Amino acid sequence: MTNKKNTKDLILDAAEKLFAVRGFYGVSIRQITAEADVDPALASYHFGKKNDIFDAVMLRRAEILNRERIQMLDDCIRRAQPNPAPLHEIIDAFTHALLNRSNKGGTGWKSYFAIIAQINNHPELGGVIMTQYFDPLAKKFLDAIHATMPAAEKEDLFWCYHFLSGALTLTFSGTERISNLSDGLCQSSNLDAVHERLVPFITAGFEAFKQQPNKTP
């Protein structure tokens, strides 16, 4: 097991860490290369423009994460055949990989999720990665949901997905202020506790749209 990292990864690690805290525009190339203990010119040499560094940071983990999540969705659907997969299993499959990486994946993954949360507010930055990786996954997820809730309206499910997406984003970004609300309730870092509550919460939300509303024209 080689412990010595190459320059490209050193830069990506440093960029990931700093982007997570201060955002794309809040971090300079010189700060990144200083954190990586590397000459500033190497950033341009290895990656090109600053935007390309950001894209490289995103791509690195997007592939891993995406493969895992699609796999879990497929497994969950296959297990239930010929019936549709249970709703809570679909939602668990959609969220489990996030929890797992955020919990046991190390600081790099934590930073990565924080950046994902930022991308939601800056479409100009991560547009390509999102369209290429997350959208197909979301489509597969929504299809599975629709299969297990055939009576629900598609538009309802579409919005429910957005609510799930928002809850997920904030939960796993890790940057949320726990504030003085918790009163010591939340012994942080216990992300399993979060997941135990997130899945029932979201499942119940979706189920509220299981039947079409009484249309009385």
Between residues 19 and 113, which has the closer beta carbon with respect to DNA? 19
Query: Which listed residue (5, 22, 41, 170) binds DNA by CB under 7 A?
Result: 41
Which among 24-32, 71-79, 143-151, 176-184 is the span making contact with DNA, rule CB under 7 A?
24-32
Between residues 3 and 179, which has the closer beta carbon with respect to a second copy? 179
Q: Which long-range contacts (CB under 8 A, 24 or more apart) does 127-133 make?
A: 128/55, 129/55, 129/58, 129/59, 129/62, 133/62, 133/63, 133/66
* 94-113 residues near DNA, rule: CB under 7 A: none
Interaction of residue 28 with DNA, rule CB under 7 A? yes
Cα dihedral 176/178/179/181 (nearest 10) = 130
Interaction of residue 9 with DNA, rule CB under 7 A? no
Neighbours of 201 (CB within 10 A): 12
Number of residues assigned to the chain: 217
Between residues 60 and 140, which has the closer beta carbon with respect to DNA? 60
Interaction of residue 39 with DNA, rule CB under 7 A? yes
Interaction of residue 23 with DNA, rule CB under 7 A? no
What is the residue whose two structure tokens read 């190497």?
A: 42
CA 52 – CA 43 distance, rounded (Å): 10
Interaction of residue 29 with DNA, rule CB under 7 A? yes
Query: Which listed residue (12, 14, 20, 43) binds DNA by CB under 7 A?
Result: 43
Interaction of residue 5 with DNA, rule CB under 7 A? no
Binding site for DNA (CB under 7 A): 6-7, 27-31, 38-46, 48-51
